[in-house]
Structure 1
Amino acid sequence: MMTAAVFLCLAALPCVLHARLVQEAEDGFAECNDFFYQGSPPQGFSDPSHAKICQRHQGGARFATLYSTEHKIPVYSAFTYREGAASEEGDWLLEPQLDDSTSSLEEGTKGSDVSEQIESLGTNQALEEDYASSDYQPGLLFHRAPAALTNAVPLTQSFKEKWATDVDNVIEKLVPHCGNGDSLHLIAGAVPSGDKIKDKVAVPEYVWFAACCNVPDAWSLGVIKRTADVDGLEQVTVEELESRLSGGVKLFSNQCGGGASPPELGTVSESSTQTEDEPPVKTPGAFSRFFQFLFCITYEIVKSVLCLVWFLVKQICNLIFGRLYWVWTAVTTYIFALSKVLLNIPCDVVCVFANILCGFVGVVDNVCSVVCLILRLPTRFLCDMASFPYYTICAIPNVGIDILGGLWGIFGLGFQALFSAFGGSFSMASFAGSSVFQRFVGQSESYEN
């Protein structure tokens, strides 16, 4: 039972793994090496900021990605053609181990699910919020792959749709020349420009696409599309594509059959522009070709002479008008500077006189201040001396009046005391006489009764 349980757990494990970071000790892209021609990844993309990712989805490996943690976009992604494969709608997936090498999440995960677990999320990879409030959207290098931000680059909406259509058209023409398409190996990449979104995610200068097939015959093809040219699409050989990618890049092992082009692909593309009812074009004879040759030579000679004459005329005109412009600039500059100096002379004279007047007024003010300071002490002293008799002599009557008032008060108090003593003695004598009289009168009446 225990063995069966372990077996079921191991069988279910690939169903939850969506992506994992390939370690340096592993060979190539580990289990994702099958997406490369003869199991050999491209050579020449050596950079410390590149990380190898084996992208898995729904229980199986889907594609391999070499990701630039410096530019936050994929360097390239490798696929094998599958009929009916398409990108699934849903949230964009991230690679947690890019920002946290110790993370146990060996799967592509939604950013909202790992934002709390990984504090440094977004340090080495692009996030959905990095594209917010910009003119760019995350666009897949190969739109038939699962929606992972590690396989997306900043593209405008129009370029994103046009790139998906161009890739589909090229693959539709390549599949008939590669058996059933099962042996068709595809590599899509991007070359960063100097522009960045929020100074973080690099906007590609151009995206590229390379195809290789070895059934029944080995051949390869390259495609380049510049982001500045939405409608343009350049078809090149893989060797030419490798030369444009710096660092001695080799996309396919053994040049995928020596770098041969797909058989009859050019003929098919050319013949599609002609109708079946169009009559064949007659080949011109030798006499006609001779006149055509003379006409071409004459045309080129006349064209070259006219171009030379036009060049000389343009150079002479540039010389003449350049000198005239230089003279005109020098004269106008001199006149402007001279006028500025002449206009400033009256202002400077007025400023000088104003400064002189202000200085004179300041001197007078200082002299007056000194004089006032010198005269202030004697003046106050003389005023005090002059006012001394007034405050002394004039005060004598008031003092005399106050003295007389005091004497009068003392006299009044003595008189009042004497009068009071006399009145009291009289009152006591009256009281005593009345008492004696009453007793005498009262005693006589009692004797008679």
Structure 2
Amino acid sequence: MTAAVLLVVLAALPGALPRLVHPGEDGFSECNGFFPHSSPPQGFSHPGTVKICQRYQGDKHYATLYSTEHRSPLYSAYTYREDAGAAWGGWMVEPQVDDSKSSLDEVSKASEVAEQVPGLGTNQALEEDYASSDYQPGPLYHRAPPTLTSSVPLTPDFKEKWASDVDHLLKEKFLPHCGNGENLHLLAGAVPSDTKVNDKVAVPEYIWLAACCDLPDAWSLAVIKRTGDIDGLEQVSVEELENQLSGGVKLFSGPCGSGALHPELRSTSEASTQTEEEPAEQTPGAFSRFFQFIFCVVYEIIKSVLCLVWFLVKQVCNIIFGRLYWIWTALTTYIFALSKVLLNIPCDVLRVFANILCGFVRVLDNALSVVCLILRLPTRFLCDMASFPYYTLCAIPDVGIDILSGVWGVFMLGFSAVFGAFGGSFSVASFAGSSVFQRFIGQSEGYEN
């Protein structure tokens, strides 16, 4: 009940609906208008698909059924607009494809949302997935805004030729017969192959374009372009394209889906019908009609039985080859793991022996260190004892010389003291004698004068 109320509230707010369409919503939600009579194609039952209402700056631009398994679109739906991709610049990504709970409900550049979306590129292709390859992101419909969710890997030459083919179809076949595109609906899709770019993005086996002019005099037309034929372009009816897509695919509903032909194909078909009906004026008899009826019934029964047998054979072959592949994978994995273990055994044995040898060397080194330590103590003591007499005897002359030097110094000190005392006494006596003599002879000047 709460979810239903929430959906009603969101539907009442333009531009607030989530871009990633949830399973509970009808079709492609607010992007249903890109399909004739708001009815999306039926029969695309691929696993891992998401419905995207591709929007930018509050405006919806087209709808896409995207395969997260192949990281490529199964189809995108457009209504003709002359300047559909003029306002955008650079490749865009859809954040909610990798994070369905993200609040980023419009396309954005990967560099701007990488930090806000953990695991960006887990379910969708990014520009770096095409690195170092011969492929480029090629839009299914180049007149639409460029998003990686509506593009597939194409070579540069094929990409350019496909854009030229689409422009020619619009100019020569679609617009002149549909009021200049006012009610022109376009479906562009791709059938993925087993080849992948960098083991991520599936390269298409072929791409296709289907047009529906939703007017009272409705018509439809389709073309197929195979990636192995750059110059080829196969023009078919929508029914023929649906048969090639298989799986009960129904691209258009209403008048466009009931065998409506393009005016050129219609005129060709009418001329062919008239040619066939002219000689048929003679009506066949009852027996002939009964025989034809029985033949058609038997033919359809045989055809149905053969189709059933072929389907059963394919299923059995898929099961058998699938099991064989699983067994082969398991066997090779086991052999690889066993070989790895067996090859590691000699390395482990050599590593053990190396560790044992290193341990033995360390033990021997420690033992020799202990022996050297033990022997070094008595050796040093004996050397000191042996050198003691040498140093003692050699010290005696030095000590004698030092004693003699001391005695001689004492003697010289005493001699200097006696000589100094005698000289001082002589100086005092001479001074006293000269003073007495001067007084005696009558000199009155002082000594200082």
How does the TM-score come out when normalised to structure 2? 0.54
Shift of the 99–164 alpha-carbon distance from structure 1 to 2, 3 Å rule, reads same
Corresponding residue for 1:219? 219
Equivalent in the alignment of 1:57: 56
Larger radius of gyration: 1
Q: Structure 2, unaligned stretches of length 5 or more?
A: 1-10, 269-449
The residue aligned with 2:339 is none
Q: In the TM superposition, what whole-angstrom CA distance separates every residue of 1:97-140 from its partner, at most 9, and x where no partner exists?
A: 11111111111111111222222111100001001111000010
1:84-233 equivalence runs, <5 A = 84-88=83-87, 90-172=89-171, 173-233=173-233
Equivalenced residue count is 257
Corresponding residue number in structure 2 for 1:238: 238
Change (3 A) 1:21 1:236: same
| Partner SS state of residue 109, structure 1 | coil
Structure 2 counterpart of 1:46: 45
CA 255–247 in structure 1, closer or farther in 2 if over 3 Å, else same = farther
| Whole-angstrom distance in 2 between the partners of 1:45 and 1:87 | 31
- Confirm or deny: 8 A CA contact 2:138 2:154 kept in the other structure: yes
Structure 2 CA distance for aligned equivalents of residues 119 and 29 of structure 1: 26
Change (3 A) 1:12 1:51: closer
Note the aligned Cα RMSD (angstroms).
2.3
- Identity percentage of aligned residues: 66
Q: Name the CA distance, whole Å, in 2 between partners of 1:156 and 1:89.
A: 23
Give deviations 1:3-51, integer Å, cap 9, x for gaps.
xxxxxxx99974xx89810111110000100000110000001233110
Counterpart-to-counterpart distance in 2, 1:63 and 1:77: 7
CA contact (8 A) 1:54 1:64 kept: yes
Distance in 2, matches of 1:127 and 1:68, equals: 14
Task: Provide the secondary structure at the position in 1 that maps to 2:246.
Answer: coil
The offset of 1:89, in angstroms, is 5.2
5 Å matches for 1:234-383?
234-254=234-254, 256=256, 258-264=258-264
Is there any run of 5+ residues in structure 1 with no aligned partner, and where? 1-9, 269-449
TM-score, normalised by the number of residues in structure 1: 0.54
Q: Deviations over 1:62-121 (max 9, x none)?
A: 100000000000000000112343455522111111111111111111111122222211
Shift of 1:264: 3.1
C-alpha deviation, 1:175, in angstroms: 1.0
The answer to whether the Cα contact below 8 Å between 1:142 and 1:188 also exists between their aligned partners in 2 is yes
Q: Which piece of structure 1 moves more, 17-26 or 143-152? A: 17-26
The one-letter amino acid of 2:30's match is E
Task: Describe the SS at the equivalent of 2:211.
Answer: strand
Structure 1 contact 18–108 (Cα < 8 Å) conserved: no
Deviation, structure 1 residue 213: 1.1
Seen in structure 2, the aligned counterparts of structure 1 residues 85 and 214 have a Cα distance that, compared at 3 Å, is: same
